[in-house]
Amino acid sequence: MTLGPSAGPPQAGPHPLGGSTGGTAGRGALLLGCIADDFTGATDLANNLVRAGMRVVQTIGVPSLPVGDVDAVVVALKSRTAPVPEAVADSVAAAQWLRAQGAPQVYFKVCSTFDSTDQGNIGPVAQALMADAAGDFALVTPAFPENGRTVFKGHLFVGDVLLSDSPMRHHPLTPMTDANLVRVLQAQLRGARAGLIEHRVVARGVAAVQERITTLRAEGVAFGIADAVTDEDLRTLAAASQGLAVVVAGSGLAIGIPALHGLQPSAQAAQLPAPQGHQAIVSGSCSSATNQQVANFIAAGGAALAVDPLRLAAGVDVAAAALDWALLRLAQGPVLVYATAEPEAVRAVQAQLGAQRAGELVEGTLARVAAGLVQAGVGQLLVAGGETSGACVQALGITQLRIGPQIDPGVPWCHAALPAGGLHLALKSGNFGGPDFFTRAFQRL
């Protein structure tokens, strides 16, 4: 659990969009309830909330009990690529638990590259969350300028290129070939309309955004894609949407939320216990950024072992072999076990095994490797890839994470209490981090 200082309870009061600004919720009820559709996205969101002064606990799955006196809870689900009915059911269960703890708003955290398909899961989950909260409008923006994600005229940019021209167009599970988010979201909605809140409106401030929301509502629009190209835009959108029951966003919108409740940044919020044990990396992401990180680690002389999905399909116990290999090298420094590969190689494997089977084989194996490494004395573990992170955290039996210092935008070190002792853990979204991330991450501790 991450505890940071508070500026005292915020003042209750009406909000132009309905509801209240939180009242005295901070000292016994949540100020914000969050649902993340994968585990790396959850730590990304929690990281931004902590940096801005909120006391945050991240849970793995829907908790069965209250988590104590904190400002926000981030429920991490493994629902980004799950079957739509499963993703909807898990997300609604999380939202109902969060509201039972007093959360006045549910923040549905999605990837900053809006990873999804025409079948879902962003649209169906967002509709279900809004229906469950009896809401009629949700603001939507995956923008995170600090990490190179901006939205203009409803189009998502990754750095200087459109999403559809970025490496995300080759994603093995959710290839993003259209940068127009209004069009992308509309294809996933059933009986609801998506609209646009343009940057010229956002630039005029909170009142202008709220006026645009009122207009969209009157036109029967239920989801408003909001442009954002700067952090100030995100703060405007956070304030304008404070009274909405549901928001759908990447982690960027979170930078503007704590200040709405009178909270301020504090270095104490990110303090973790001293690191111990060996260092290891498990990588299942095949993103362009992670491919660069693997190559950089190897070029710098790091010990690395590749996992071949075809050997897994043939019945070879690759996890046991990888652990035997790692145990001989842990004392010399970080070791890397990876299934990261270039898009052409990934497509070749999927053509033989099928995308779902290939993914399940790799995730299951890397999860076994992660659990074995921790059992062998690894106390500092970096995991790359959202699906891989989910599988590894579940294999380790982790139920809560304390959020610590940021390594790169969107990626903090975390700490989990395990029966055998504490574990420092970093869950990295595939697209995040600089080329030297794998080596620099351990120096950050």
Cα 284 to Cα 217: distance, rounded to the nearest angstrom: 42
349 φ, ψ to 5°?
Answer: -65, -45
Instruction: Please say which residue of 222, 250, 267 terminates a domain.
Output: 267
The pLDDT of residue 296 is 97
4 in any annotated domain: no
Lowest mean pLDDT among 216-225, 239-248, 356-365: 356-365
Say if residue 267 is exposed, middle or buried (CB neighbours under 10 Å; 0-12, 13-18, 19+).
exposed
Whether 3 has a pLDDT exceeding 50, the answer reads no
Within this chain, do residues 54 and 118 fall inside the same structural domain, yes or no?
Answer: yes
The per-residue pLDDT of the chain, averaged, comes to 90
Overall average pLDDT of the 321-331 stretch: 97
Whether 445 has a pLDDT exceeding 60, the answer reads yes
Cα 247 to Cα 209: distance, rounded to the nearest angstrom: 14
For residues 17 and 215, which has the higher predicted lDDT (pLDDT)?
215
Any idea which residue has 């120096």 for tokens? 443
Whether 266 has a pLDDT exceeding 80, the answer reads no
The pLDDT of residue 381 is 98
pLDDT in tens, 271-313: 789 999 999 999 999 999 999 999 999 999 999 999 999 999 9
Within this chain, do residues 224 and 311 fall inside the same structural domain, yes or no?
Answer: no
Within this chain, do residues 284 and 188 fall inside the same structural domain, yes or no?
Answer: no
Overall average pLDDT of the 368-377 stretch: 97
Q: Range of 186's domain? A: 25-267
Q: Which residues contact 45 (CB under 8 A, 6 or more apart)?
A: 34, 36, 74, 107, 109, 251, 254
Cα 316 to Cα 310: distance, rounded to the nearest angstrom: 9
19 in any annotated domain: no
Cis status, amide bond into 121, omega within 30 of 0:
yes
Within this chain, do residues 237 and 110 fall inside the same structural domain, yes or no?
Answer: yes
Q: How confident is the model at residue 84 (pLDDT cuts 50, 70, 90)?
A: very high
247 in any annotated domain: yes
Instruction: Please say which residue of 217, 236, 267 terminates a domain.
Output: 267
pLDDT in tens, 31-76: 999 999 988 889 999 999 999 988 888 999 999 888 878 899 999 9
Torsion of CA 275, 276, 277, 279, to 10 degrees: 20
- In the chain, the number of structural domains is 2
For residues 65 and 374, which has the higher predicted lDDT (pLDDT)?
374
Overall average pLDDT of the 423-444 stretch: 93
Lowest mean pLDDT among 36-40, 99-103, 169-173, 193-197: 169-173
Whether 252 has a pLDDT exceeding 70, the answer reads yes
Overall average pLDDT of the 413-430 stretch: 90
Within this chain, do residues 197 and 285 fall inside the same structural domain, yes or no?
Answer: no
Q: How confident is the model at residue 188 (pLDDT cuts 50, 70, 90)?
A: very high
146 in any annotated domain: yes
The pLDDT of residue 407 is 92
State how far the alpha carbon of 303 is from the alpha carbons of 170, 298, 326, 337, 378, in Å: 28, 7, 9, 9, 15
Q: How confident is the model at residue 22 (pLDDT cuts 50, 70, 90)?
A: very low
Q: Which residues contact 206 (CB under 8 A, 6 or more apart)?
A: 236, 239, 240
Q: How confident is the model at residue 96 (pLDDT cuts 50, 70, 90)?
A: very high
Lowest mean pLDDT among 215-224, 235-244, 250-259, 429-438: 429-438
| CATH code of 306's domain | 3.40.980.20
Overall average pLDDT of the 383-398 stretch: 92
190 in any annotated domain: yes
Q: Which amino acid is at 187?
A: A
Whether 338 has a pLDDT exceeding 80, the answer reads yes
pLDDT in tens, 267-280: 776 778 999 999 99
Within this chain, do residues 279 and 300 fall inside the same structural domain, yes or no?
Answer: yes
336 in any annotated domain: yes
Instruction: Please say which residue of 242, 267, 292 terminates a domain.
Output: 267
Within this chain, do residues 216 and 72 fall inside the same structural domain, yes or no?
Answer: yes
394 in any annotated domain: yes
Can you say how many angstroms the Cα of residue 227 is from the centroid of all Cα atoms in its chain? 20
The pLDDT of residue 27 is 45
127 in any annotated domain: yes
Within this chain, do residues 276 and 238 fall inside the same structural domain, yes or no?
Answer: no
HEC string of 215-284 equals HHHHCCEEEEEECECCHHHHHHHHHHCCCCCEEEECCHHHHHCHHHHCCCCCHHHHCCCCCCCEEEEEEC
Residue 295 near residue 278, CB atoms below 8 Å: no
Buried b (16+ CB within 10 A) or exposed e, 56-95: bbbbbbbbeeebeebbbbbbbbbbbbbebeebbebbbbbb
Lowest mean pLDDT among 48-52, 216-220, 322-326, 367-371: 48-52
Among residues of the chain, what percentage have pLDDT more than 90? 76
Within this chain, do residues 317 and 422 fall inside the same structural domain, yes or no?
Answer: yes
Any idea which residue has 């992308």 for tokens? 184
Within this chain, do residues 309 and 402 fall inside the same structural domain, yes or no?
Answer: yes
Within this chain, do residues 225 and 304 fall inside the same structural domain, yes or no?
Answer: no
Whether 426 has a pLDDT exceeding 50, the answer reads yes
For residues 11 and 180, which has the higher predicted lDDT (pLDDT)?
180
Of residues 187, 138, 181, the one with CA closest to residue 18: 138
| CATH code of 35's domain | 3.40.50.10840
What predicted TM-score, i.e. pTM, was given to this entire model?
0.78
Whether 103 has a pLDDT exceeding 90, the answer reads yes
Whether 20 has a pLDDT exceeding 50, the answer reads no
Q: Which residues contact 267 (CB under 8 A, 6 or more apart)?
A: none
Among residues of the chain, what percentage have pLDDT more than 70? 93
The pLDDT of residue 28 is 59
The pLDDT of residue 269 is 67
Within this chain, do residues 234 and 280 fall inside the same structural domain, yes or no?
Answer: no
What sign results for the dihedral spanned by CA atoms 242, 247, 253, 257?
positive
